[in-house]
Amino acid sequence: MRSNYKVIGDYIKQVKGKNTAHMVTAENLKGININKYFMPSVANIIGTDLSKYKIVQKNQFSCNRMHVGRDYRLPIAVSSFDYDIIVSPAYDVFEIKDITKLLPEYLMMWFLRSEFDRNSWFYTDSDVRGRLGWQDFCAMQLPIPSLEKQREIVKEYQTITDRIKLNEGLNKKLEDTAQSIYKEWFVNFESQEKIKLDKYIEFNPKHTINKKQITSYVEMADVQEDSMSLRNIIQRHFTSGSKFKNKDILLARITPCLENGKTAFVTGLETSEVAYGSTEFIVMRAKKDISPYWIYCLAREDNFRSYAISSMIGSSGRQRVHSDYLKEYEVSVNIEKMYNFNIAVKPIFDMIDIKTKENKNLVVLAKILLSKMATIKG
């Protein structure tokens, strides 16, 4: 072991506080995304005893060690919330023993490294899901420089991530502007003729991808509820799922994601790249001469979403909408007006694309910084 490398277990301790008094409600129940952040849980908790769920306080960590071998990642996150949250009883919760020796933000940066995930995978057991043992997790090592050096590294990393968040905020404002234009031009607009969406939109277009190919992949959690931009695009070997290209629209078709507004306008892929993602997406693509920007704004529009939600089928916990229902949705559209709308909002969407690509480069820069942590001294 290199002199400045320390065993993780010497710096952390498990926390086993449970929600016995029901102080934390279901709205603060979180899951952990494989990209290592807390997200609203999509689990069906009807009739579930939340007193058994574990409490996570600010600066405490939680992780799911059960599927590391299957997912090639350890889902782990640190809470930055100013309030308590709860997580599954199957998760571990732990905290740093002494934050004057190890900063939570610095430790989380180490967990974000792809090298850490590869090391986690190496230590998994022979179970089909590949469980990572707690002792094996604690036995892993990381470089722990002085507190001053940790703060310097964290600040550098946060400068990058803050710029990413700034761009995301700008994109959100730009999108709101485009949506306002759409509502003004089309929501109250009626023509003499109503047309079914099937005439304008291709649903779930077919593509062929080499199964050995590494391509972009999008998780459902990476489609945001209040923004058209994808939170993250990772690289994986192709397995299966929805297939899409730039300027396609990804519409969540499952509860509660559809009700929460999860819809994405795809940008940031290579020019001719075909990506794939969750089977719970409906892919919507503009047919010839139809504006993809109009389709995206339509997919965000309240009347369309109400129609989609009303047609959901399945059990109460996992209802889905089928693309065949959406094909029957009728719209009143003046094609000339759609053309003018496309001209009006294209600069807005182009700027969103520029900021999305800038964020893609910033993510690469952040990964380089994380990778260099292994050589830290001082």
Over residues 143-166, the pLDDT tens digits come to 999 999 999 999 999 999 999 999
d(CA 167, CA 172) in angstroms, rounded, equals: 9
pLDDT > 90 fraction of the chain, expressed in percent and rounded: 59
Mean pLDDT of 7-15: 97
Question: What is the pLDDT at residue 192?
Answer: 63
Q: Hey, which of 229-238, 310-319, 328-337 has the most confident mean pLDDT?
A: 328-337
Which tops the pLDDT comparison, 213 or 286?
286
Nearest alpha carbon to residue 70 among 134, 131, 137, 138: 131
Q: What is the mean pLDDT of the chain?
A: 90
Question: What is the pLDDT at residue 315?
Answer: 66
Question: What is the pLDDT at residue 282?
Answer: 93
Mean pLDDT of 39-61: 90
Q: In what order do the strands lie in the sheet with 281-286?
A: 201-203, 281-286, 249-252, 263-265
Question: What is the pLDDT at residue 33?
Answer: 87
Question: What is the largest distance, in Å, between two alpha-carbon atoms of the chain?
Answer: 78
Nearest alpha carbon to residue 360 among 190, 168, 215, 179: 168
CB 122 within 8 A of CB 89: no
Question: What is the pLDDT at residue 114?
Answer: 92
d(CA 47, CA 45) in angstroms, rounded, equals: 6
Q: Identify the bridge partners of residue 87 per DSSP, sorted by sequence position.
A: 54
CB 35 within 8 A of CB 66: no
Instruction: Please classify residue 261 by burial: count the beta carbons closer than 10 Å to its beta carbon, then call 0-12 exposed, 13-18 middle and 19+ buried.
Output: middle
Which tops the pLDDT comparison, 239 or 305?
305
Nearest alpha carbon to residue 50 among 89, 101, 94: 89
Residue ranges and CATH numbers for the domains of the chain are 5-144 (3.90.220.20), 166-354 (3.90.220.20)
Instruction: Please classify residue 74 by burial: count the beta carbons closer than 10 Å to its beta carbon, then call 0-12 exposed, 13-18 middle and 19+ buried.
Output: buried
Question: What is the pLDDT at residue 241?
Answer: 83
Task: Provide the 8-state DSSP code for 93.
Answer: E
Say which residues have a Cβ less than 8 Å from residue 354's Cβ, sequence separation at least 6: none
Question: What is the pLDDT at residue 357?
Answer: 86
Mean pLDDT of 112-138: 89
Mean pLDDT of 87-107: 97
Mean pLDDT of 260-269: 86
Q: How remote is the C-alpha of 324 from its chain's centroid?
A: 27
d(CA 30, CA 252) in angstroms, rounded, equals: 19
Tokens 């090592």 belong to residue: 141
Q: Is the pLDDT of residue 189 over 70?
A: no
Question: What is the pLDDT at residue 346?
Answer: 97
Which tops the pLDDT comparison, 171 or 130?
171
Mean pLDDT of 193-216: 86
Nearest alpha carbon to residue 91 among 76, 69, 72: 76
Q: Model confidence at 238, in pLDDT bands (50, 70, 90)?
A: confident
Question: What is the pLDDT at residue 258?
Answer: 84
Q: What are phi and psi of 57, to 5 degrees?
A: -100, 170
Q: Is the pLDDT of residue 296 over 80?
A: yes
Q: Is the pLDDT of residue 270 over 90?
A: no
Among the ranges given (26-40, 112-126, 202-216), the one the predictor scored with the smallest mean pLDDT: 202-216
Nearest alpha carbon to residue 167 among 245, 230, 114, 235: 230
Q: Model confidence at 347, in pLDDT bands (50, 70, 90)?
A: very high
Question: What is the pLDDT at residue 325?
Answer: 92
Question: What is the pLDDT at residue 194?
Answer: 86
Q: Model confidence at 206, in pLDDT bands (50, 70, 90)?
A: confident
Q: Hey, which of 46-60, 177-191, 216-230, 262-276 has the most confident mean pLDDT?
A: 46-60
DSSP helix/strand/coil, 186: helix
